[in-house]
Amino acid sequence: MEERGILSAADLRKPLNRAVYGLMVLCIVVMAFTMLYPIAMTMFNGLKTNQEINTFPPRFFPTEWHWENFTKGWGYIKLPVFLKNTLLIFGGNLVMTVLVLGLAAFSISRIRVPYSRAVYFFILMTLFIPAASYMIPNFVNLKELGLLNTYWAFWLPAGASAYYFLLIKNFFDGIHPEIFEAARIDGASELTSFTRIALPLSIPIFATLAIFIFSSAWNDWFWPSLVMHTEDKYTLATAIYKYVINARSLDSSVKFNILFMVMVPPIFVFLVFQKFIMRSVSLSAVKG
């Protein structure tokens, strides 16, 4: 079935509606240009020479295409090692989100837990606490547990995200309770209802959270640089910050080339899974 937009064909016949619609389209085009221009500029600068990058006025397209800069950028730092570390952190964070936050949200949403409403509002209030205020307590706790320089320094905090918890909980609230009641009549336990009913029906929200978790693991450099002490365990963003952004002897063209290579995967992942993001965010919007 064809989806209908905000304005119908009859609405667009009115001059005022056409003017407003044209203004909206113009704003979208300008926004798209302002977001795509830095990415395109990074890619083309990565294919130039240093002299051409520093010329004034700057040129958008390179006069000569130096594709060998990709080889130089790939071999400058150990990108496969840092990529593996980033993917391990992403995988562990995703598992903790599904198991810990998923079970917690299911218990609050579908099981009559004592003081569940009070627990829900307590978790809701933690959203008003700035993340920077509990960064030091998290670091101290992990240090006392001996978990610094390990992947658990990322996996354990991932199981305490209030925002992800609220998204999952409100998504579970939207599932018809008759489904779980029928499962209980058939003798299914609460864990069986979670694994065989709630999880399969919640693929859109967990797919969306996977994108958010991937973006966080891919872009975060401060927390990994704080808890990881050895180079072989650096994430990709931390390695880029330490060895590329702050490198003074590295050619600017190679810098731009490396930055472009690390830009592409998140964009590709978002384009592939954007339908899950739009669908699940609308379905799991926090109800007032």
pLDDT digit string (tens) for 183-211?
888 888 888 888 888 888 888 888 888 88
- Distance between CA atoms of residues 261 and 82, nearest Å: 13
Kindly report whether the global pTM for this prediction surpasses the value 0.75: yes
Regarding whether 181 and 240 lie in a shared domain, the answer is yes
Regarding whether 90 and 48 lie in a shared domain, the answer is no
Q: 149 and 91 in contact (C-beta within 8 Å)?
A: no
pLDDT band of residue 252 (cuts 50, 70, 90) is confident
**Domain contains 55:** yes
**Domain contains 260:** no
The conformational region for residue 62 under phi > 0 = left, psi -120 to 50 = alpha, else beta, is: beta
Q: 238 and 221 in contact (C-beta within 8 Å)?
A: yes
- Distance between CA atoms of residues 142 and 250, nearest Å: 35
Least confidently predicted of 7-21, 103-117, 257-271: 7-21
Note down the domain range covering 114.
Answer: 77-249
Q: Which residues contact 1 (CB under 8 A, 6 or more apart)?
A: none
Regarding whether 94 and 55 lie in a shared domain, the answer is no
